[in-house]
Structure 1
Amino acid sequence: MPIRYGVIALGVCGLAVIPAQAQQAQATGGPMVITITKLDCSRLIQHQPSADVAYKPGVDVRGRPVASADTDPGRAEFAKKLIPDVLEIPITINPLSYAKRNTANQNKATAAANVASNTTAIATAKSEGTALSSQLSTLNTQLSTVNTNYSAATAANVASTGGSSPTAAQTTVRTIRQSEIDSTYTPQISSINSQITTVNSSIATNTATQTSLATKDTTLRQTYTDTNMATEGTLAGISAKGLDSTQMKVGTVKYDIARNAFTFNDQPMISEDQQKLAAACAKQGVK
């Protein structure tokens, strides 16, 4: 999530911070992830109950003044010692291994995304192929029906105008009627045949697309397998060199309880950043 002085994203507690001051340490390795624990989230996020349920010293639930239940001044002082006025969370990173880890994991994620995208494209192409086949079947049925009706109309015309031995007058009538029959059915037959040609062309294109995507799928899955193995090898190599625990402090997040304000390296964080910080922790059950 974007922040005026850096970026906050989920880490161990679901939270990682990338300050502007750390950008020089990761010129080619992408954003640096800075881990804050779940306990840190608990310390950072201040619960604010609704006005109708929050305890208010010196008044009852109706707002009428009552004697305070806290008659021990030392208790309040002790509470202040437990919870300081300003909570401070030091932010550290692992500068030696982060770039390699990030690159390896990004390569793996990209390979996986390519496989997923191609799989979606295959499913879409198959769905389109099924729809085109159904459309072609419907058109062929319509064409068969129109041809049957045309043949029936033609046969009826012949039968009603002297059959196989028409007179000259019957021949004249037959010709006129047949012209009317042709003008009715020929445009329908022509239109359906044109649609069938178009659908057959689309089916051919769709079939070629499915074949291409299937070939691509094999390649992409092999690439993912290779990339995954390379990623695991990179991560194992980093761990083997003992770089997992390398740490460098890049700054401090402070929460001023009285002012209800966050700062990073004494620079204010905007309220939107605080809301996103709270939301990130809330996803991990810290409210």
Structure 2
Amino acid sequence: MRRFLSLSAAFCLCTPAVMAQGASGSSGPVVITISKLDCSRVISHTPAPDVAYKPGVDVRGKPVVSADTDPGREAFAKKVLPEVLEIPITINPMTYNKAKTANKNKAAAASAVASNTTAITTAKAQGTALNTQLTSLNSQKTALTTTYNSDTAALIANTGGAGATDPGLLRVRAARQKTIDDAYNTKLASINSQITTTNTAITANTTTVSDLQTKDTTLRQQYTDTNMATEGTLAGLSGKGLDSTSMKVGVVKYDIARNSFTFNDEPMVSEDQRALAEACSKRGVR
């Protein structure tokens, strides 16, 4: 059953991916498409022996009376469910490669537009944040200057006023003024440095937004062209009647009573089921 293992491992279910047994096309390998519903039907959880429910016995293996008091329930279930569930696997070998390529190109073009649009939104938001930061820095600079002028005026008033001539007061004024000046100049230099850095970032951000907007125009035109090409390819395939072509590759069967799977009547061992389960899980089916 190793042959089927390679088949099931390549399923990549729900976005085609299984090599058909002995089937291939001129443009590449034939690929099988299985839906999520198919995955859900095929995947079977097998609990450990010590946790699996066993009718008619307790956890220690001793016989117990069944809790099912309806003798007709089992018979009813047999009527509703078939003994074997069959999932036919078919492909369209005539259109798959061309249709897949066309749709892939269209999706890539759409993704490029979406990614660039996100980049524009991010860059604009960053520009807004930078301008807000610049406004805040300028406000801090204005407040700092106001405080400096206020402290200087208070110092003059407290040391004899503008016309003071007392040498002692003037020495005190000069010493205190130096302290005020040093603190002001240090803070002012820091704010001016931040303002310069922010202005540089704003200029770079403006250029980025402009480039992204120019790129957006190009990408949208590319998407339009790719979309038209895709529609043309699909219409051409449909016009030739190829979209209804199908090939039966095989059948996956699940025997309910035996809790076993087969592919084209060959058993699927636990390793095969595990590989298939992993492929389905990647597509959101558990």
SS in 2 for 1:250: strand
Taking a change above 3 Å as real, the CA distance of residues 19 and 213 of structure 1, as seen in their structure-2 partners, is same
SS in 1 for 2:31: coil
- Number of aligned positions between the proteins: 262
Asked if the contact 1:6/1:20 (under 8 Å) is kept, the reply is no
Bigger mean CA offset, 2-11 vs 255-264: 2-11
Q: Which residue of 1 aligns with 2:118?
A: 120
SS in 1 for 2:106: helix
Q: Which of residues 258, 271, 274 in structure 2 aligns to 1:271?
A: 274
Long gaps (5+) in structure 1? 49-53
Q: Which residue of 2 aligns with 1:218?
A: 217
Counterpart CA distance in 1 for 2:118 and 2:133 is 23
TM superposition score normalised by structure 2: 0.74
Q: Deviations over 1:47-69 (max 9, x none)?
A: 99xxxxx9969xxxx94269983
Q: Which residue of 2 aligns with 1:153?
A: 151
Counterpart CA distance in 2 for 1:202 and 1:161 is 45
Asked if the contact 1:26/1:32 (under 8 Å) is kept, the reply is no
Q: Which residue of 1 aligns with 2:102?
A: 104
Q: Which of residues 9, 14, 17 in structure 1 aligns to 2:13?
A: 9
- 2:235 corresponds to 1:232: no
Taking a change above 3 Å as real, the CA distance of residues 25 and 148 of structure 1, as seen in their structure-2 partners, is same
SS in 2 for 1:166: coil
Deviation (angstroms), 1:7: 1.2
Counterpart CA distance in 2 for 1:37 and 1:217 is 35
Q: Which residue of 1 aligns with 2:71?
A: 69
Counterpart CA distance in 1 for 2:198 and 2:137 is 9
Q: Which residue of 2 aligns with 1:129?
A: 127
Give me the identity figure in percent: 47
Tell me which of the two structures has the higher relative contact order, counting C-alpha pairs closer than 8 angstroms and 6 or more residues apart.
2
Q: Which residue of 1 aligns with 2:59?
A: none
Counterpart CA distance in 1 for 2:155 and 2:69 is 110
Taking a change above 3 Å as real, the CA distance of residues 155 and 26 of structure 1, as seen in their structure-2 partners, is farther
Deviation (angstroms), 1:221: 1.0
SS in 2 for 1:211: helix
Long gaps (5+) in structure 2? 1-5, 47-52, 57-62
1:164-183 correspondence runs (5 A) = 164-167=162-165, 169=167, 170-183=169-182
- What amino acid does structure 1 have at the position aligned with 2:210? T
Counterpart CA distance in 1 for 2:176 and 2:41 is 94
Counterpart CA distance in 1 for 2:26 and 2:157 is 92
Root-mean-square deviation (CA, aligned residues, Å) is 4.0
Q: Which residue of 1 aligns with 2:18?
A: 18
1:193-204 correspondence runs (5 A) = 193-204=192-203
Q: Which of residues 137, 140, 143 in structure 2 aligns to 1:142?
A: 140
Counterpart CA distance in 1 for 2:22 and 2:121 is 44
Counterpart CA distance in 2 for 1:233 and 1:44 is 36
Counterpart CA distance in 2 for 1:199 and 1:175 is 35
Asked if the contact 1:96/1:246 (under 8 Å) is kept, the reply is yes
